[in-house]
Amino acid sequence: MGVFHGRDFLSVFVMCLHIVTRSNERGRILMRIGKWGVIGAFALMMMYVAAADAADGSKIGVVDFQKVLMESDTGKKVQAEMQEKGKGMEAKLMAAGKEIETLAEQMGREAMVMSKEKREEKQRELEIKKYDFQSLQKKYQAEFRELEGVQIEKIKNEIFTMAAKIGEQEGYTLIIEKSAVIYYPKSVDITDQLIKQYNSGN
C-alpha cells in the first residue's frame, strides 16, 4: 500500500466537500417536489375532468410550492437553519481533512528516515483517519438529507392543509401544485395569497 501524498488527498478532499449539500441549492428542492409527480398527474387529469363537467362555474387554483419554500418566512428560516447546519458539518470535515493532509505530508518528508515498522505504523494511522473521514462524510450526508426531508415535509403538509382550507372557504373546484401543470394563466395562481396567509399564521 503506497503513501497517500498530501497533494493527492487535497484534490480528493475538495471533491468530497462538494458532496455536503448546501441548503440554498434549489435543485434539490425541485427534486423533492418531483416525487409528487404521479399524484400531480392524476390531479391534472381531474382538473380537465372538472373543467369539462363544470365549464361554466369551475374555479381552479395553482400553488407554486417552491416559491413558498423560497419566499415564506418559515421557508427562509428553514433555509437559514440548513445553511448553518451545513457550514458546521463542512467545518468538521475540513478539520478532519487537514489532519489527513498533514499526516500524509509528514510521511512524504520522513519516509526515507523512518524504520519499516514506523512507516507501517504511520500508514495504518493514515488509513484509519481516511476511513473515519469517509464515515463522517457519509454520516453528515445522511443527517442533512433526513433533516431537509423532515423540514420540507412539515412545510408541505402545512401549506397543503392551508390550500385545502382556502379551497373550501372560497369555493374552488380544484387547487393543484404548479409542478403538475403544463400551462395556467397567472390569474389562477394563489401562491402569493397563500404565502401571506402562511406568514400571518392564520
Averaged pLDDT, 176-202:
92
pLDDT digits (tens, 9 = 90+) for 19-52: 344 444 444 544 444 444 444 444 544 555 444 4
Best CA proximity match to 81, nearest among 27, 150, 5, 13: 150
Mean pLDDT of the 161-174 span: 94
**CB-CB contact of 103 with 129 (8 Å):** yes
Which CATH architecture is the domain 6-18+26-200 placed in? 2-Layer Sandwich (3.30)
Q: What's the pTM?
A: 0.63
Sequence-distant (6+) residues with CB within 8 A of 132 are 96
CA distances (Å), origin 94, targets 58, 74, 133: 56, 30, 10
Q: State how far the alpha carbon of 102 is from the alpha carbons of 49, 79, 126, in Å.
A: 66, 34, 10
Strands (E), the chain: 60-63, 174-177
Give the CA radius of gyration of the chain. 26
The whole-number pLDDT of residue 89 equals 95
Chain centroid offset of residue 122 CA? 38
DSSP per position, 140-187: HHHHHHHHHHHHHHHHHHHHHHHHHHHHHHTT-SEEEEGGG-S---GG
At residue 61, the 3 state secondary structure works out as strand
Instruction: List, for residues 47-94, the tens digit of each pLDDT value.
Output: 554 444 445 468 999 999 999 999 999 999 999 999 999 999 999 999
For 125-164, write each residue's pLDDT tens digit.
999 999 999 999 999 999 999 999 999 999 999 999 999 9
State the Cα–Cα distance between residues 163 and 165, nearest whole angstrom: 5
Angstrom CA distances, 121 to 115, 117, 141, 187, stand at 10, 6, 30, 70
Instruction: Check residues 25 and 100 and name the one with the higher pLDDT.
Output: 100
Q: Name the DSSP class of 101.
A: H
DSSP code of residue 1:
-
